[in-house]
Structure 1
């Protein structure tokens, strides 16, 4: 079968022919129909020392059809439509084990989410990481709900899903995004206001800000959320998701009376809740679809900042 594999800093990503995987105890083999391209893929390939072996098949946003079932697996059948949770019981795909930029992918059955009939493979794949991570951060970790004033920093692949999820939860949502060309998309998703710099939100008493950027934006997010004095009221919360520069530069006084937490990944339940919203047409993120052969070039586009929304490769008999 075909697989896009990272062979090291010198050779980079190469399209190889590799053996088909076989499922072990508690595992299934998924015939991949959709696989999302993520900035994390680029980050992983800059740090090959973290990988236990090379070449490594990349890709961790995976959806497809069960092709083989291993011993001990119950509740699943060959032909079932599934998405694969990248933050489940298995080690992260594309870093510590082979990922989904391949015709087939082996994973634990415990990490499978059911894909409803009628949902496209592009959306099914995007929901497994971009969707799950953003949904978990803003709904489960952040607690976005009716009556809350919520800010979303970064209207990319994750921010667009978080924005819409919070709107559907009844929150008043504001977006910070320097790329003015996507402002209309944010408004269409239900954002009531859009700014280029989160500094414009200072002292506006937000209940929650989720930072999907991390490029000097966390300090601004803290300045935007309300501050608790003594026993009065609830502290505003900032949920950090974006890795940005890899470090936080936060003024200590901004932390006083405010909550700063991190959010990483999510659950199979998060994915299935998103699938429900998507198949009902309530949440439809902007996705650019490419073919399997375009994955290498697609990652180059992503690295150059030339992708709006989420980039997803779709292929196969019913892709």
Structure 2
């Protein structure tokens, strides 16, 4: 089969011919129909996140959807021909980006086929396109987990979303669907209208302008330090700030405000298969469509380069396979 192989920092991914995977006990092979491109893979290829890999050379890609083509011994919950997605965060028990996950600790989705434990297989409703399913396994899951699990959003919550990129735009829509009163801060005015179309009541340019909306929850998908500090400054007393974005590795925050306002600051990474299932329900109902841009399998390398340049404009790149 054809696969995009990452050989190590300092070299781009290369298209190679590799053996088809064969399922062992408890495993399945998925013929891929769609693979989402994630900025995490940009960090791996440029060296800033390469330490998370289990080995190299490796096939990257952790957002996978397709059709099961083979099953190993002992597999009872998955059958050949099933439309499925593969959990980007394993079986959900580790809670963090683990070394066994697809595209991190084993070969991933930038290939014609991938191998996965049956425990990581998520059934797809017929109404969910493969392109949306692939994006749901990471962009959708991460957004849902940050807003509902770590953020604790309930109907009526006044919530601010910082950054209307691929994750933030999805999170904003999910927060609206969850009954939140949603506002956003985004420095790029070209995507403000898209936020309003998804139910955001108002989009401002700067985090500190969110103070006018008396927010109980702010989810920061930018993470540039100043955004974290700004969120602590403007959130209501007793409010919660959830940090997702990692635009900068460190932030200087006002601990006086953090303490005196009794603000809760939480980190959020990834999610669980259960989070992905909830996202797929929203997609299946027609209430949610993750903003995506389709590319071909042969364009995966150039797609990662596009991501690195920041030329995506709030959409999730998804490679569709013939």
TM-score (normalizing by structure 1) = 0.93
Counterparts of residues 135-174 of structure 1 (less than 5 Å): 135-174=144-183
Give the match for residue 37 of structure 1.
Answer: 37
- Greater alpha carbon shift after TM alignment, 188-197 vs 267-276: 267-276
- The alignment yields a C-alpha RMSD, in angstroms, of 1.4
Q: Secondary structure at the match of 1:223?
A: helix
CA distance in 2, matches of 1:88, 1:254: 38
Where do 1:20-31 residues align within 5 Å? 20-31=20-31
TM superposition shift of 1:50: 4.3
SS in 2 for 1:248: coil
The answer to whether structure 1 residue 109 and structure 2 residue 97 are counterparts is no
Q: How many residues align?
A: 309
In the TM superposition, 1:12-161 aligns within 5 A as 12-47=12-47, 48-89=50-91, 91-161=100-170
Q: State the Cα distance separating 1:38 from its structure 2 match.
A: 0.7
Pick closer, same or farther for the CA change 1:50–1:169 going to 2, 3 Å: closer
Aligned partner of 1:5 in structure 2 is 5
Counterpart-to-counterpart distance in 2, 1:138 and 1:59: 24
Deviations 1:164-194 (A, max 9, x none): 1110111100011111111110000000010
- Specify which of 233, 251, 256 is matched with residue 223 of structure 1: 233
Q: CA deviation at 1:53?
A: 2.6
Q: CA deviation at 1:204?
A: 4.6
- Over 3 Å counting, the alpha-carbon distance change for 1:72 and 1:305 in structure 2 is same
- Structure 2: which 5+ residue stretches go unaligned? 92-97
Instruction: Give the alignment's TM-score, normalised by structure 2.
Output: 0.92
CA distance in 2, matches of 1:52, 1:152: 33
Cα separation, 1, equivalents of 2:83 and 2:70: 13
Q: Secondary structure at the match of 1:9?
A: coil
Q: What CA distance in whole angstroms lies between the structure 1 residues aligned with 2:30 and 2:252?
A: 42
The runs of 5 or more residues in structure 1 that have no matched partner are 228-234
Q: Does 1:304 align with 2:309?
A: yes
Q: Is the 8 A contact 1:25 1:73 kept in 2?
A: yes
Runs of 4+ in 1 over 4 A off after TM superposition: none
- Secondary structure at the aligned position of 1:102 is classed as coil
Inter-partner Cα distance in structure 1 for 2:132 and 2:264: 33
